[in-house]
Amino acid sequence: MTAKLIKGTEIREQILEEITAEVAEIKAKYGKVPGLVTILVGSNPASISYVTLKIQTAHRVGFKEVQDNQPPDISEAALLALIDKYNKDDSINGILVQLPLPKHIDEKKVLNAIDPDKDVDGFHPVNVGRLMIGGSEVKYPPCTPAGIQELIVRAGVETKGAEVVVVGRSNIVGKPIANMMVQKGPGANATVTIVHTGTRDLASHCKRADILIVAAGVPDLVKPEWIKPGACVIDVGVNRVGEKISEKTGKKVAILKGDVDFDRAKEIAGYITPVPGGVGPMTITMLMKNTLKSLKFGLGIA
């Protein structure tokens, strides 16, 4: 059996087109576009490239985008005052603070200062609580888990009654996706198990999964013999396992591998996401979706 590839790169394009069309419609009707601000403290090269990608994507879908760069020695108080300014700014619907922050700043304090109604990353404790309650309480599902659910749904995989096994229990992937898949509603209503390093027999749990979501950060952790024939395998892992020279640019690039032994797993699974090009492209896409949602909440049309 050769699995159907779930291509995040293609699904991203579909969703970004849908968002662009909706932004244009709202602009014509209400004269407003979603506003997204990205606050970058310092000049960490990885952070710069993440922020640039977010801003470029926001621009592409027709948002107002603001990149607010701050020096590495900005005080915690000044950063909190900046967040307060954007909390009160009606033209801004989403506030992102790029992590990591310099050591003299308390990250938790800063993230918790963002108005939960503008927390389009979905990490504020209020939004974590809303996600836990589920249904219409949910405002901003965190972006990577939301992307995972979108991939499963758009691939046409049945979730109702499915055995879902999630490998990993981080606050940004494992716990929220498990929580989302267990909710009573479309794209969910599954029976969910979370496994981690304290789990006694990882393989036996994975073997039961109709949908196996792996977010461990361990290359090739999931062996092909752990996969139920025909299962949907979502590989969230992004592991740098070496470097190569890019054929396109001639520059050195990282060799990336997922948490699943892809080459052999694709012969057993029914559906599988590649790494790169699977879950990865979905995170920023869902960030755009959340920012659009934030404007729609404000206009009373969500």
Which stretches of the chain bind ligand NAP, using CB under 6 A? 144, 167-170, 172-174, 195-198, 202, 215-218, 221, 236-239, 279-280, 283
Measured from the CB atom, the residue of 86 and 283 that comes closer to ligand NAP is 283
Q: Annotated catalytic residue: which of 54, 118, 175, 257?
A: 54
CA–CA separation, 172 vs 267, rounded Å?
A: 30
- Which residue among the candidates 14, 29, 67, 98 is catalytic per the annotation? 98
In whole angstroms, how close is the CB of 80 to ligand NAP at the nearest point? 26
Is 121 annotated as catalytic? yes
Least separation in angstroms between CB 282 and ligand NAP: 7
Tokens of 28: 């014509």
Angle at 153 between CA 147 and CA 159, to 5 degrees: 115
Check if 54 is active-site: yes
State the minimum distance, in angstroms, from the CB of residue 281 to ligand NAP. 8
Closest contact distance (angstroms) between CB of 195 and ligand NAP is 6
Q: Give the orientation angle of helix 125-133 with respect to helix 174-182, to 10 degrees.
A: 30
Among 18, 98, 31, 34, which Cα is nearest to 293's?
34
Separation of CA 257 from chain center: 18
Of the two residues 132 and 218, which places its CB atom closer to ligand NAP in the complex? 218
- For residue 212, what is the enclosing H or E element? strand 211-214
Nearer to ligand NAP, 119 or 235 (CB): 235
Q: Find the helix packing angle between 143-154 and 174-182, rounded to 10°.
A: 50
Catalytic residue among 118, 119, 121, 139: 121
Active site residues per annotation = 54, 98, 121
